């Protein structure tokens, strides 16, 4: 069981719960007692599925606490949440007399040890309360418009720093209104719901209709940390609130949208020009070849400009996010050309950043390209030579590259004295930055899988390696190897060489 920020984590007496169902599998339970709430994972469930669901429902409980809902009401209202592809849905309500009974249901043989721990903590809290009584808490119901409707809705985007954080909406045929957070906005949107619900509550207290409240928000002053509805924002229609929530869940980042639209034509024309330039050179027409290469260079520059920023890590020391421009559509993009990668340096790298290696599980057919891609071994690994350095730690994450599953591993810490790092994921060299973040140049290191360690558990246990859950856009960092979805994966441990749609694994 994990605690939820805000709610008490010590259940006493009867506990109500709902199973968390992903697909057809019960992966855990969302529970609430009179004064506590949390989520409990089933250890026998698929680890990756249960962890993603666990994190998602805990996040919703945190938001419910911020709305000042009591635990039982939060459990009731969350049952109405739409089905989420990764977090699943909640099943029917049930009740057990004690939390130990729920532990036994979720994980038979657990013996209720955590429940006993809670009871001991409860006794200590009761003794502290007896000596230093505190006033009884006041539970307030959230003010504002109703937040459920069967009506079509009108909505406007909430934007901060060119990122759409969510959507403010109003029903067209009743008096409902609310705010939907956009999942792809990640941590920037995590604390935006409460401020916008407060804006709507203020409008309702003034007697404004939901549609008037929506219109008044357009061009209004930006809310600190929660963005603004831009002046001139278009009011759009959604057939239902469920449709708007689905849009908020699946709507791609703007840079990825632009990249996905322009990428096919750029690659097709660029690869054609490359072949044409070679043909012209062979024919002795150097001037025409130069023209073709210049045009391809222009297309390559546009491709580099469009590369979408992808979250790959969070620094364990500074907590700053690392976003790297990566072609996540497929391996036939020029980003993955090992000998001549088309890339740009990321913005605002934390000064603690050292290196980024990676591995990739190749699933299904591999897209054909006129170059060699080397996305790494088929399972994630660490480089002991780097992790054994003082104050160096690494973070492993998971991203999708088309049909394939990639695992970037990012290293943070002081620059080693010999400046010998590891080649950047998929490239033949590595950038070097000093401890102030100043770029010093490039180096090369021959990849050698015999020097890699594919046994991640000891590094996790030591605290040198941390992990972020797949699909967790907030990039919360964890160190428990028992819950890590990247431990014990099976796959090739040699280096993949992908060329013209064919894959070979080699030790160098």
Over residues 412-430, the pLDDT tens digits come to 999 888 788 999 999 999 9
- Does this model's pTM top 0.85? My answer is no
- Say if residues 352 and 412 touch (Cβ distance below 8 Å): yes
pLDDT at 473 over 90: no
Average pLDDT, the chain: 87
Q: What is the DSSP string of 152-187?
A: -EEEEEEEETTEEEEEEEEESSSS-EEEEE-GGGGG
> Where does residue 374 rank: exposed (0-12), middle (13-18), buried (19+ CB within 10 A)?
buried
Structure token digits, residue 483: 């819950």
| 442 has a pLDDT exceeding 80 | yes
Reply yes or no on whether the pLDDT at 2 is more than 50.
no
Number of Cα atoms under 13 Å in the Cβ half of residue 296: 20
Q: Which residue has the tokens 């699933």?
A: 363
Whether residue 114 is predicted with pLDDT greater than 80 in this model: the reply is no
Contact criterion met (CB below 8 Å) for 244 and 167: yes
**pLDDT tens, 225-240?**
789 999 989 999 999 9
| pLDDT for the residue numbered 77 | 86
Burial class (CB within 10 angstroms; exposed 0-12, middle 13-18, buried 19+) of 196:
buried
């Amino acid at each position: 069981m994990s605690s939820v920020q805000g709610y008490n984590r010590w259940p006493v007496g009867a506990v109500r719960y709902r199973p968390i169902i992903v697909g057809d599998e019960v992966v855990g339970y969302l529970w609430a007692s009179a004064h506590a709430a949390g989520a409990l994972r089933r250890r026998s469930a698929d680890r990756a599925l249960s962890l993603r669901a666990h994190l998602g429902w805990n996040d919703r409980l945190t938001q419910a606490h911020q709305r000042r809902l009591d635990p039982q009401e939060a459990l009731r209202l969350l049952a109405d949440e739409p089905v989420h592809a990764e977090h699943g849905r909640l099943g029917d309500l049930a009740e057990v007399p004690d939390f130990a009974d729920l532990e036994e249901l979720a994980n038979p043989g657990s013996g209720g040890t955590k429940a006993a721990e809670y009871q001991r903590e409860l006794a200590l809290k009761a003794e502290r309360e007896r000596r230093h009584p505190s006033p009884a808490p006041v539970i307030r119901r959230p003010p504002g418009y109703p937040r459920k409707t069967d009506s079509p809705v009108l909505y406007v985007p909430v934007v901060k720093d060119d990122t759409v954080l969510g959507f403010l909406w109003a029903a067209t045929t009743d008096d409902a209104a609310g705010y939907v957070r956009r999942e792809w906005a990640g941590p920037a949107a995590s604390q935006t719901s409460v401020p916008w619900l407060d804006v709507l509550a203020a409008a309702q207290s003034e007697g404004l209709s939901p549609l008037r409240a929506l219109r008044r928000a357009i061009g209004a002053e930006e809310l600190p940390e929660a963005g603004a509805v831009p002046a001139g924002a278009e009011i759009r229609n959604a057939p239902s609130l469920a449709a708007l929530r689905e849009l908020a869940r699946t709507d791609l980042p703007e840079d990825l949208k632009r990249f996905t639209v322009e990428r096919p034509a750029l690659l097709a024309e660029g690869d054609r020009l490359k072949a044409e330039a070679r043909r012209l050179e062979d024919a002795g027409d150097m001037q025409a070849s130069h023209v073709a290469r210049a045009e391809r260079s222009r297309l390559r520059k546009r491709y580099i400009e469009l590369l979408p920023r992808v979250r790959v890590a969070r620094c364990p020391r500074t907590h700053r996010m690392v976003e790297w421009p990566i072609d996540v559509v497929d391996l036939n993009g020029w980003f993955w050309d090992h000998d001549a990668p088309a890339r740009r340096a990321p913005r605002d790298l934390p000064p603690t950043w050292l290196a980024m290696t990676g591995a990739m599980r190749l699933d299904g057919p591999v897209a054909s390209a006129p170059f060699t891609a080397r996305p790494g071994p088929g399972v994630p690994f660490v480089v002991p030579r780097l992790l054994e350095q003082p104050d160096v730690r690494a973070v492993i994450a998971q991203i999708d590259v088309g049909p394939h599953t990639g695992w970037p591993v990012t290293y943070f810490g002081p620059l080693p004295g010999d400046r010998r790092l590891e080649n950047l994921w998929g490239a033949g060299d590595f950038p070097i930055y000093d401890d102030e973040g100043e770029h010093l140049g490039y180096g090369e290191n021959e990849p050698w899988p015999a020097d890699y360690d594919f046994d991640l558990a000891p590094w996790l246990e030591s605290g040198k390696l941390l992990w972020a859950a797949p699909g967790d856009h907030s990039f919360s960092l964890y160190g428990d190897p028992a819950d890590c979805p990247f431990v014990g994966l099976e796959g090739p441990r040699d280096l993949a060489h992908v060329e013209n749609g064919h894959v070979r694994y080699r030790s160098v």
